[in-house]
Chains A and B, each alone.
Chain A
């Protein structure tokens, strides 16, 4: 199984500042046949289901604000929020969909400092 490890577990950032969340996979999620990283980022607010933010490691889902960006390849990935807004307070998860069992990171709780 591919193990996904996020860092940090929690993060407090001031409004308007940059937030960075890291995700590391235990093996590469880059598929050589299509050169795509099978890595997604989700946002989950209390009492709500997860919401897809980023797929293919760096493609923003329709409707997601452009302050959210994803980067990385192979085994190391980053979700960046360029200017933190109040509505960004949530738990963020990375997920690999390269192979089953599809696995999620443990989550990173993002709060306002």
Chain B
């Protein structure tokens, strides 16, 4: 079964750091571009960051640029999001999402269940 499972969320104080992980199974991660998308409580979807296959291209939303870093370890079938200098407005469910480009569709075809990040003192 094709699956993405996020972990690493939790409660962190403003200014703190957190590292999210996304474990891929049922497909070869190295063949796919990947993204992080977040959703604040009761709000809509916000794209956070993108990484190409092999990690050569990285793009991020202005709201997280300079604070969040996306990375991947294809040998471990894992995607990561290092989040530094966290703010209250970063509170959200964070989803990893597969970019279906390699499957010919280019939209986000597989999503994880999400991990909750709460930034509060």
- Residues on A lying within 8 angstroms of B by beta carbon are 38, 40, 42, 44, 48-52, 55-56, 59, 61, 93, 95, 97, 100-107
Pick from A49, A59, A95, A105: contact of B105, CB below 8 A. A59
* Cα separation A48 to B35 with both chains bound (whole Å): 18
CB pair B105–A56 under 8 Å, yes or no, is yes
- Residues on B lying within 8 angstroms of A by beta carbon are 35, 37, 44-47, 50, 59, 61-62, 95, 100, 105-109, 111-114
Least CB distance, A72 to chain B, in whole angstroms = 15
Pair count A-B, CB < 8 A: 59
Least CB distance, A84 to chain B, in whole angstroms = 22
Pick from A50, A103, A106: contact of B108, CB below 8 A. A50
Q: Mostly helix, strand, loop or mixed at chain A's interface?
A: loop
A-B contacts, 24 listed (Cβ < 8 Å): A40-B108, A42-B108, A49-B95, A49-B111, A49-B114, A52-B100, A55-B100, A55-B105, A56-B105, A56-B106, A61-B105, A93-B44, A95-B45, A97-B107, A97-B108, A100-B47, A101-B47, A101-B61, A101-B62, A102-B35, A102-B50, A103-B47, A104-B46, A104-B47
CB pair B44–A38 under 8 Å, yes or no, is no
* Cα separation A105 to B47 with both chains bound (whole Å): 11
Would you list the 10 A-B pairs with minimal beta carbon distance, nearest first? A40-B107, A49-B111, A55-B107, A102-B47, A100-B59, A104-B45, A55-B105, A107-B44, A101-B61, A52-B109
